[in-house]
Amino acid sequence: MEFKKGDIYGTHRVIEPQGVLPQPAEKIDNCMNIFDNEVLINVSTLNIDSASFTEIEKRANHDVEEIKKIIMNIVETTGKHKNPWTGSGGMLIGTVAAVGPNYVGDLKVGDKIATLVSLSLTPLKLEEITEVRPDIDQVDVKGQAVLFQSGIYAKLPTDIPQTLALSVLDVAGAPAQTAKICKPGDTVVILGGGGKSGMLCCWQAKKQVGINGKVICIDGFEASLDRARSIDCAHEYKVVNATDAVEMYNEIMALTDGKLADVVINVVNIPNTEMASILACKEDGMVYFFSMATSFTKAALGAEGVGKDVNMLIGNGYTKGHAEVALQILREDEKVRDLFAKLYA
């Protein structure tokens, strides 16, 4: 069999507009005849990112069949799962079906993997969606996908169930980045702290800041905070509306004796939370926007508008060793593992 030569970043798959990479492209080629440096995957589950699934669910009026139609239509129209309203995707798990002869890596046919690159750039073809699990943003499917040479992945661990591993690998960049930016003694505020990525970030931040630091878990719902409390992942827990910047500022001022936070981490899955994050942060502090609902314009102009000199980090879903950091949390803390198995697996 003769294979066509593929580009490392998958630009050979771009249909329109020409000259862009697969992620910003409006349409890519999802033909499942792989190029010489690609990997073909039989897909079993898609883990839609939280902001994307929330938007799809809202537009479907929480109807499962409508959710299926929207997802199938996105893939049929664009050749990938790039949510047209949020621009984000998610990730998948599946089994390696074929490996191009010039692919450089350790993957072989039969390996069970989770792709750690976004579905918003991954060539995807779906035959059908067999099950929708709205509570955990996952859909089981029959279909295939392509991994480019540059695409990162994790081989699924044998000591952790697949769907449980997928639930944390989907947000692995967040706790791993948290480990990099939080220092001993820091005060850390986490918006959306009662959600999946939020609890992992709280847990990791608490580990990093040590006995002299403080982690404040903020969420819009008491039930979410109760989940976070059950795994003891923070020092303080508070219900605050993350779209209300003034309320957030007042609450964080009170909780920090007027000092505000050294680090603010935003993992909220709804829009218009940029200013609450910025106002909660002290001068020269760090605001980490992991949320895919973040608007760069609102963050940049908003900080300027209130005269706030803060460092702002846009969440990169990838940082070295991020998969292992996330999985290690499950291995280290039985309370976290049990809760995540109950909620997300």
Domains of the chain: 11-156 (no CATH), 173-344 (3.90.180.10)
pLDDT digits (tens, 9 = 90+) for 301-343: 888 888 889 999 887 776 778 889 999 999 999 999 999 999 8
Q: Which of 88, 108, 114, 224 is nearest to 168 (CA)?
A: 114
Q: Going by C-beta distance under 8 Å and a sequence separation of 6 or more, which residues neighbour residue 19?
A: none
Instruction: Tell me the average pLDDT across 276-280.
Output: 95
Return mean pLDDT, the chain. 94
pLDDT digits (tens, 9 = 90+) for 51-89: 899 999 999 999 999 999 999 999 999 999 999 999 989
The region of weakest confidence among 22-26, 125-129, 287-291, 295-299 is: 295-299
In terms of Cβ atoms closer than 10 Å to its own Cβ (0-12, 13-18, 19+), residue 7 is: middle
Which pLDDT belongs to residue 173?
A: 87
Q: Which of 227, 105, 192, 100 is nearest to 154 (CA)?
A: 105
Instruction: Tell me the average pLDDT across 199-225.
Output: 97
